[in-house]
């Protein structure tokens, strides 16, 4: 099983990390990356279990973050879409040396629906 995540890096300027959503991979950022690379050094990652990182595994946000910090730039702008926003927010809270600015798009503070005995929260069923 692979341990390093797949990253694509292109462009010049301040570091910008793009994190895809659930069920996607870094390819979802292709058109945006073409525009952004003129002003940013764009880092596009495939999260564990997705795309070229399909051989990597993570059980939770903590393990995803541990995989990210092995290769992510420090002092970067992080932009996360959907589940990627949750990942980027976790990084900002727990690894502040890596995140100087945070942007979330169509994201939520919690991705999974509440389990029994938890306060109600609509989201993806935990077994999914």
Q: Do residues 74 and 92 make contact, with C-beta atoms less than 8 angstroms apart?
A: no
Q: What is the pLDDT of residues 77-97, one digit of tens each?
A: 999 999 999 999 999 999 999
85 found inside a domain: yes
111 found inside a domain: no
Which pLDDT band holds residue 2 (cuts at 50, 70, 90)? low
110 found inside a domain: no
115 found inside a domain: no
Range(s) of the domain holding residue 75: 6-105
32-to-1, 20, 58, 106, 123 alpha-carbon distances in Å:
30, 12, 27, 16, 27
75 found inside a domain: yes
Q: What is the pLDDT of residues 6-43, one digit of tens each?
A: 999 999 999 999 999 999 999 999 999 999 999 999 99
What CATH number is attached to the domain comprising 75?
3.40.50.1820
**3-class SS of residue 83:** helix
**pLDDT (mean) for 120-125:** 78
């Amino acid at each position: 099983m692979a341990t390093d995540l797949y990253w694509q890096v292109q462009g010049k300027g301040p570091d910008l990390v793009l994190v895809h959503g659930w069920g996607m991979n870094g390819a979802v950022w292709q058109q945006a990356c073409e525009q952004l690379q003129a002003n940013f050094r764009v880092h596009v990652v495939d999260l564990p279990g997705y795309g070229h990182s399909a051989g990597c595994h993570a059980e939770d946000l903590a393990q995803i973050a541990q995989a990210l910090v092995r290769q992510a730039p420090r002092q970067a702008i992080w932009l996360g879409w959907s589940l990627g926003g949750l990942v980027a927010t976790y990084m900002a809270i727990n690894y502040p040396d890596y995140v100087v600015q945070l942007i979330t798009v169509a994201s939520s503070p919690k991705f999974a629906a509440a389990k029994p005995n938890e306060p109600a929260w609509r989201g993806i069923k935990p077994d999914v």
